[in-house]
Structure 1
């Protein structure tokens, strides 16, 4: 696949429209308070945002990843996101938001740490023709995952999970997304096997996003939703370098396991 500067810009634009936060560079804990009974319904009350914040993974919880807050100035909000109503739960998950309206939600971002290659360690002036593009692609070839926790009352979590599961099927042919004034297109949604600890129930999907309408270039993004009692944990992973080159990547199981461990 030829990787032009135009394609890089288009990739950035598409990714930004779905989840601008990724480009910056609560739930039940198994106690009586959390009310996790493993069933679809619960009489437990939703946790507060502060309680959810305490349950999020933190720096040091996942080896090889830097965990940091999502840039609030770049993060999307539900009132700015427009799409086919049945597909909105998928859009929200990919934007680092709760799949449906929740009494409380929060998120964080885990960025893969990697050692610089010989090419990446050179100064721009020292790079030969062709190495500049390789260096840029290498710099972008890191997994970036937004982890979202949302807490619900009653059967709210089960309903939120079901909305995502239904959308994976009904939106398989793709959908358009408008984030403020930015438009983008998902051309395909396909169910995937969930990775890591899957809680009470889990659903995962790959979304193919259009990068360049003229050339037909596209890139794949990965998302997963796991229900832990009255809590929904959402994961959205992108690797822009892999999207540009067509290489395979996946949601890091280590992140899912670390977050699940805090929700037991």
Structure 2
């Protein structure tokens, strides 16, 4: 009987991360759960051990702190049982760009971009060597939408999408699957932490529906999964336009429209 890979999930104490934990536990995967709130992690772990008969390790960590991040990196590098990384931990932006402090900016960028990049880098060499495994990065449709006015958050999620696409180019030939999941508004605690009443939003997806849809994409080995996008061809057109733009680049000379001041 083939042993299922252990799944390490960040931001696992609530919301999307906790739902991923439950879904993978139901599939029979052992888990490593990472988040700041040890009590909530322990409660979730105890329930999943009892209900699903899987092994669940708890690693309390604040991924904005380098020492804590290093602990998780070491676990990913050294634990050969871990074959799936769910990079879910993240935070939203509270207020406009001009209202942000340096500390708030650094914290958001560290959690939303630095942490998932370092964790993916920690596990990727081992997965590539084994020729198997998966990295799932949770982004956001806000990464497409500067009009929403969440400049730092949106930029961080655009980074997550680009990172996922780039990792796919490098790792897919070595047998490693990389998926970017792009939710829209989802009913999680991220809104409360950003000072937003989620009940004031016009449309919100329930977290269980979001994760179940993301796992359909995971099982199909989609590279980019956008659960709230109802016309899949929109993504195909956007990606096709991007590739068309690249084909029109000529590096040796500036375009004709830039060769005069007229």
- TM-score (norm. length: structure 1): 0.31
Q: Structure 2 length normalisation: TM-score? A: 0.31
Q: Which has the higher contact order (CA 8 A, sep 6+)?
A: 1
Name the one with the larger helix percent.
2
More strand by share: 1
